[in-house]
Structure formats: structure tokens, C-alpha cells
Amino acid sequence: MKNRSIYFLMVLAALFWGGAFIAAKLSAPFIPAFTLTFLRFSIATVILYVVILVKEKHIYKLKKEDIPVFLFTGVVGMVGYHILFFKASIYTTAINSSIIAASNPMITVLLCFIFLKDKLNSKCILGIILSFTGVLLTITNGSLSTISDITFNKGDILMLLAVLCWACYGIYSKKVMPRYSPLTLTFYSFLFCTLFLIPFVIYENPISLIHSVPYYSYIAVVYMSIFASVIGYLVQQMSIKQIGPAKTSIFINLVPVFSIILSSIILHETITIVKVFAALLIITGVYICQKSK
């Protein structure tokens, strides 16, 4: 698959992840964080199992040395990021968490430079700066003075840890990718995530909440399982293997662009000129980074 194809697929993955923010708003208020994460990845695990049987005809048999690998990707990448994000939203503002989340490409590039000896060049740095500026414009609606009012709290620290989990997941996936196919790595990451969450779900006792959860919340969970998890993560693994974690992570800056569009369509929010300009900045930053060597 040529790079142009993987770029298109990563844009599509960003669209699905953007939709996941809408889906989360329709489900998170009614379903506890551990249970919501468990439902998302348990459904995704079953679907991915069927996909593997159809495409690869057999399931990779775990070896003893594989367990630490999938514990890391499943617990740090899946459980770590999602639980920390949901918990962070309780304590911090949307502005704070969005700005911190937008730092993911920079953290990933820095970690790749330190641990994978990836080279940094001026074009990639420029692309990240442009994209980050676009994200700032998006979340502040053009009023950058809002940033001066930010004070870090418990939620900010949790969100920073979530972004660190995501960056570590991407980099570690790059390191172990030669040993597994994207399907295998994604499937077992989902499976270990699901198994790890079981005792926490039991503690949350979601059975008592079944009748109070609206139908659209269940639809939202299914959406996140199929599109944001199965398709999104599979494409991400393919991208990490082909173009590396640093360039793959830059696509996360497209997520707020799609979130704006989907929010307008589904939640009837207004798209302003500032948000359109911010979207152009983000897309330009992604393009520059992808064109850099």
C-alpha cells in the first residue's frame, strides 16, 4: 500500500474518532467510565475475532513472551488513555483537556527522538506548530486570551497522563510491530483491555443502570466499538508500521475538525469563520508534516 493510501485511511480514522466524541457525549453521562470502556472494547474484540478468522483463517497463538507486550498495549494504550480521559473530564475544563490532548504529536515526536532515534526536521516541526495553532483557535473560538486564564488542576494532570499513555502506546506498537500483524496486535490489545476491566466493571455494578440508559447510548457504544475501535485502531496500526508513530500521531489534529462538522450536523452547533480558518490551519499542518522526509 502506497503512502497516499494510508494517508487517506488515517483521515478516515480521524473522522471516526471525531464521531466518537459525539458518541461519548451521548453515552458517558449514563454509563460509568470503566463499564463504557469495557462495552466498547468487548464488542470490538468479538468483531475483530471474526475479521481475523475471515482474513487470516487462524488466530495467532499466544506465547509466554507475548503476554507482557499485550499487557502493555492493552492496559496502557486502551485502558490507560480512555479511563484517564473520562476521569479528567470530571475535574478540568474542555479547553484545558483539548489543549493538552493536542500536545500528543509533540510528545510522540519527542519520545520517538529519544527512544527510536527518529530524526526531527524543520518541516515536521512547522506542521505540528500550525496544527496546534489551529487546535487552539478551534477550542477558544479565536479568543486566544482565554489561555491566560488556565490553571492546572487534578484533571489537567490526568489528561496529560492520558496523552502520555497514547504516545507510549503508539511508539511501543512501532517497536513490536515486526513480530505481529496489525490484526493480531490490535485484537490482543483489545482482548487484554477487556479482561483487565472485568473486576472494575463488577465494582461499578452496571446491571442496576440498564433501565435508566437511553437507547441512543447503546447505539453510541456500538458506533465506538466498530468504527472508532475496530476500524480506527486497525488503520492506526497499519499507519504506524508504514509511516511511523510520529507522522501517524499528527492526524489526531484532524479530529477536532471532524468533531466541529459532526457537532453541527448532529448537535446543531454553529460553524463560525474562526473554526473554518482553524480547520484549514490544521489540515495545512498535517500536509506539511506528511510531505517532510
Q: What single string gives the DSSP state of each residue in 6-63?
A: HHHHHHHHHHHHHHHHHHHHHHTTTS-HHHHHHHHHHHHHHHHHHHHHHHTSSPPPP-
pLDDT, residue 196, reads 96
| Pair 185, 127: CB distance under 8 Å | no
Average pLDDT over the chain, rounded to an integer: 83
Distance of CA 278 to the CA centre of its chain: 20
pLDDT, residue 94, reads 56
pLDDT band at 238 (very low <50, low <70, confident <90, very high): confident
In degrees, to the nearest 5, what angle opens at C-alpha 278 toward C-alphas 281 and 261?
A: 120
Most confident range (mean pLDDT) of 90-99, 100-109, 251-260 is 251-260
pLDDT band at 145 (very low <50, low <70, confident <90, very high): low
Does the pTM of the predicted model rise above 0.85?
Answer: no
Span 73-99, average pLDDT: 79
Q: How far apart are CA 42 and CA 19, in angstroms?
A: 19
Q: Nearest Cα to 229, choosing from 28, 4, 46? A: 46
pLDDT band at 141 (very low <50, low <70, confident <90, very high): low
Span 157-165, average pLDDT: 86
What percent of the chain has a predicted confidence (pLDDT) above 70?
90
pLDDT band at 121 (very low <50, low <70, confident <90, very high): confident
pLDDT band at 107 (very low <50, low <70, confident <90, very high): confident
Q: Nearest Cα to 113, choosing from 19, 244, 224? A: 244
Span 69-92, average pLDDT: 87
Span 265-281, average pLDDT: 78
pLDDT, residue 151, reads 56
Instruction: Render pLDDT for 187-199 as a digit per residue (tens, 0 to 9).
Output: 999 999 999 999 9
pLDDT, residue 70, reads 95
In degrees, to the nearest 5, what angle opens at C-alpha 126 toward C-alphas 120 and 131?
A: 115
pLDDT, residue 264, reads 81
Q: Which amino acid is at 188?
A: Y
Span 249-259, average pLDDT: 79
Q: How far apart are CA 57 and CA 45, in angstroms?
A: 16
